Amino acid sequence: MYKILIVDDEKMIRLGIKAMIDREFSDVFTTETAFDGMDAIEKIQNEKVDILITDIKMPRMDGISLIKEIQCMEIPMPATIILSGFDDFEFAKAAIKCRVKDYLLKPVKRHELYQDLKDILNELKINNQMAFQHLDEFRANQLNYILLNPNLDEGKILDLCSNMQIEAYMDGFHVGVVKNCKKIDGEGLLGRIKDFFKTMTEHSSDVVCFLDKDEHVVVITKENRFLELNEFLGKQKYFSYSIGVSDKKQKLKSLREGYEEAIFSLKYHFLFPANQIVFYENVKGKPTNLNIPIDLLKKIVNMIGTEREQEIKSYLLKVLDYDKIAKSNITYMEALSKEINHILLESTLTKIGKESSDVTCLYDKIQDIYNFENFHAYYQAVEELLLRLHEYHKKLRQVYSEQKYMDKALHYIEENFSKDLNLAVVSNYISLNYSYFSHMFKEYTNQNFVDYLKMIRINHAKKLLADSEYKVFEISEMVGYKNPKQFTRVFREIEGVSPTEYREQKMYR
């Protein structure tokens, strides 16, 4: 509701205008009257006025003087309509200088007054909306500053809250964090939550909502309305969510503490996906001093690549024992996840490389348990990756045990060294996975493929230099180097002398 103050020394006129406004705008404006400028000043000092309707000629203080007096006060200037019983241009000029909205002659015409009030009402709504948007943005920036800076002292926090028009919550407050589990616009969710609290709270200052750095909606509220919020969001379509709620805090200096409690509570949605809302009071006492089963993880590593797949599954089930984890502090699950990544997956994956993009993507996702909607989805992903690595290692062991693959590969290189040859060509020829063959080749020859091929080519070049009369550039092409300069550089790199020097040495021996 907006406040109108009607100022006129004639009682019947001011009451008549009040009646007209009350009859047409009872759901928009509240009206009050004053009998002259001095009386109006007293009322304006005590209560905010949005619209001023004032006569010009009045005893003690006239309308123009009233306007000028208000402009000198440290308050927002109300939108002003001037009334006059005289069609006097001098009054109109004075009114224009005072930036009034309109100048109406008495007797006031109803439709003119109504039109002025409608125009002013539209401006007030626009201005208020812009003010609220500016305040919301300012609050979001300042509150995120508080949340991201743990070393702010109480005085600084109180000053910031005062600037944001957030007063001390005398009866305490709660902090809630709402996470969008399906990625939709954070601003959209923020808007829905603001709309909900508008219907639930009597005063706008009772609740503050904003987006944090992770696009979660943070709610600071005087009354714990989170169960009702949960019910409201549960009826919305096309998105899922989770809510974490702090314990009750008494002082504004505890804002960051409340936020951290809400974030901590939010994590438990991973373990209890059926619970859309988790209160800190229900999870803060869970045990934290549980031992991580390092020995079981090492046993699984030793079984990778053997014929003991069922035992691997059994041990993994013991490591990720849901009943034990659900009774523990969430920090246990976070620590366990790190050991699974380090001891089990990383060490196993390192042995075969990360050439397989789907394996790498799954491995990267598993690095953070909160990439998954719940514990069971995480468990399935770990088991899937572990079994795939297990199968890779089984194949790798088989490759190591079959000498014929390497014999075939080395024979192919020996027969085709002069051609455009690379590791991919050879691995395709013997029908082995590129990464497996690369690893096997280095294990078998103690050289990488490029160095091995150089050695074969230079050995053949040495024979041709010693036993034939081919020119150096001809030998270069015969052993697979189309560029004689490259051939010379590689030859010198391996033998320490150029091809010509090598040939001359052989001629004098």
SS3 call for 215: coil
In the listed set 400, 416, 436, which residue is the last one of a domain according to the structure?
A: 400
Domain with residue 245: its CATH number is 3.30.70
Going by pLDDT thresholds of 50, 70 and 90, the confidence category of residue 184 is low
Assigned token pair, 434: 């590129």
CATH code of 477's domain: 1.10.10.60
Residue 123 lies in a domain: no
Quote the pLDDT of residue 142: 82
Residues spanned by the domain of 502: 403-507
- Is 86's pLDDT higher than 70? no
H-type helices in 201-319, by residue range?
Answer: 226-234, 255-266, 294-303, 309-319
Bigger pLDDT: 181 or 246? 246
Task: Answer yes or no: is 125 within a domain.
Answer: no
Distance CA 54, CA 306 (A): 95
Q: Are 398 and 405 in contact (CB under 8 A)?
A: no
Of 331, 147, 163, 160, give the one whose Cα is nearest residue 246: 147
pLDDT at 439 over 70: yes
In a domain, 120, yes or no: no
Has residue 315 got a pLDDT over 70?
Answer: yes
Structural domain includes residue 114: no
Q: Given this model, what pLDDT does residue 298 score?
A: 92
What digits encode the pLDDT tens for the residues 99-143?
688 888 888 899 999 999 998 888 877 666 554 556 667 777 888
Give Dmax over CA atoms of the chain in angstroms.
135
| Phi, then psi, of 60 in degrees rounded to 5 | 65, -55
Share of residues in the chain with pLDDT > 90 (%)? 48
466-491: average pLDDT? 91
The verdict on 86 and 223 lying in the same domain is no
Assigned domain for 219 exists: yes
Are both 454 and 381 inside the same structural domain? Answer: no
Q: What band does 156 get if pLDDT is binned at 50, 70 and 90?
A: confident
Model confidence at 351, pLDDT cuts 50, 70, 90, reads low
Same domain assignment for residues 416 and 348: no
Q: Are residues 392 and 418 in the same domain?
A: no
Q: pTM for the complete prediction?
A: 0.57
The predicted pLDDT at position 392 comes to 83
> In this structure, are residues 20 and 49 in contact, taking their beta carbons and an 8 Å threshold?
no
Query: Is 61 contained in some domain?
Result: yes
Report how many domains make up the chain.
Answer: 4
Task: Tell me which of 73, 108, 143 is where a domain ends.
Answer: 108
Mean per-residue pLDDT of the chain: 86
**For residue range 447-456, what is the model confidence (pLDDT) as tens digits?**
999 999 999 9
Residue 134 gets the label, from left (phi > 0), alpha (psi -120 to 50) or beta, of alpha
* Same domain for 386 and 368: yes
Sequence letter at residue 361: C
Residues 392 and 478 in one domain: no
Look at residue 457 in the predicted model and tell me its pLDDT: 93
- In this prediction, residue 41 carries a pLDDT of 94
Average pLDDT in the 395-402 region?
66
Task: Please tell me whether residues 30 and 159 are part of one structural domain.
Answer: no
Residue 366 and residue 267 in one domain: no
Q: Are residues 477 and 500 in the same domain?
A: yes
306 and 195, same structural domain? no
Backbone angles phi, psi at 419, to 5 degrees: -90, 175
What's the rounded Cα separation, in Å, for the pair 273 and 5?
Answer: 56
Structure tokens at 38: 């001095």
Q: Is residue 96 part of a domain?
A: yes
Residue 305's nearest CA partner among 389, 402, 400 is 389
CATH value at residue 51: 3.40.50.2300
Whole-number Å distance between alpha carbons of 181 and 142: 26
pLDDT at 88 over 70: no
Residue 458 burial class via C-beta count within 10 angstroms: exposed 0-12, middle 13-18, buried 19 and up: buried
- For residue 374, being part of any structural domain is answered with yes
Domain end: 282, 315, 345, which one? Answer: 282
The arithmetic mean of pLDDT across residues 334-339, rounded, is 95
382, 410: one domain: no
Radius of gyration of the chain (CA): 41
Fill in the amino acid letter for 13.
Answer: I
Q: CA 7 to CA 35: how far, in whole Å? A: 6
- My answer on whether 139 and 278 are in the same domain is yes
